[in-house]
Amino acid sequence: MDFEDIKDWVYDNYQLAYVVGTGVLALGVWALWPGKRSLGALLGGYAAVLGIGASWEPCVDVGSSVYGKVLARGGASELKIALTFDDGPHPENTPLILGTLARLNVKATFFCVGENVKKYPDLVKRIKDEGHLLGSHTLSHRNLLSCTWGETKRQIGGGIEALSSVLGEEPVYFRPPYGMRYPWSMWESERLAQRAVLWSNCPRDWQLPGAEVIACRVIRRAQAGDIVLLHDGGGDRRQTAQALPKIVETLRERGFSFVRVDELEAQND
């Protein structure tokens, strides 16, 4: 197992990694502490750190609705999957991905960054005209965990406003960058009638591991109701576009169909 394998395991098992890592750190500190070492103090300190981590965990867990309702997957009654693309629109990646989706006859969902929407309004219109769903991905892709309350409002509201000015209507769906959010981030999105969408299947295409690896990661984890996190912005996304045919064709052979997020959510009603 190399370092990349370890990183992948930590990403897929971050809760267990946190528990184990905290325990190893606590034992190391205890072993080096001068004077009397108390097992009770060690266990108490370990429990306190785990408690702090547990209070933060819903801020970063993409499936947690503790601090506000999120849609991370659809129902399991039908073999449906939603492909989603973040960080665009991008002048090269987005047309490439749109062309691939058109050839595959797949409708998807695009979470757009407001600043990119302002730069490439014609691409936003094309996404809509080709039957895809658009949602907001904040104004400038700031991590909301690093934002003040005022900046949080500016980010969420600015992303909505950018899309509204191009589409003539407000988006309904919102995805916080990196999936991270404080309770007040969720309160603000709910106040603005935005439905927070996270994901259940993440092939980490930003690592640029190759189209074959991206496709295999999606296929290996695929379950009914999955929301798949992919990207059309934020870097070179040719591998993502190249992975799409294998993803779609393989999962269709297994009985899956591909839908937009709003259609996936509808099966929960």
Q: For 147-177, write each residue's pLDDT tens digit.
A: 999 999 999 999 999 999 999 999 999 999 9
Q: With bands split at pLDDT 50, 70 and 90, how would you rate the model's confidence at 16?
A: confident
231 belongs to the catalytic site = yes
Give the number of other CB atoms < 10 A from CB of residue 47: 12
Tokens for 115, please give them: 């600043």
Residue 46 has pLDDT above 90, yes or no: no
Residue 269 has pLDDT above 60, yes or no: no
| Options 86, 87, 205, 232, the catalytic residue | 86
Residue 2 has pLDDT above 90, yes or no: no
| Domains of the chain in sequence order | 3-60 (no CATH), 70-266 (3.20.20.370)
Q: With bands split at pLDDT 50, 70 and 90, how would you rate the model's confidence at 200?
A: very high
CA distance 82 to 60: 21
Q: What is the pLDDT of residue 195?
A: 96
90 belongs to the catalytic site = no
Cα 100–Cα 168–Cα 98 angle in degrees, nearest 5: 5
In this predicted model, what pLDDT tens digit does every residue of 52-109 receive, in sequence order? 888 888 888 899 999 999 999 999 899 999 999 999 999 999 999 999 999 999 999 9
| Options 137, 226, 231, 232, the catalytic residue | 231
Q: What is the pLDDT of residue 13?
A: 74
Report yes or no: 170 and 108 within 8 Å, Cβ to Cβ.
no
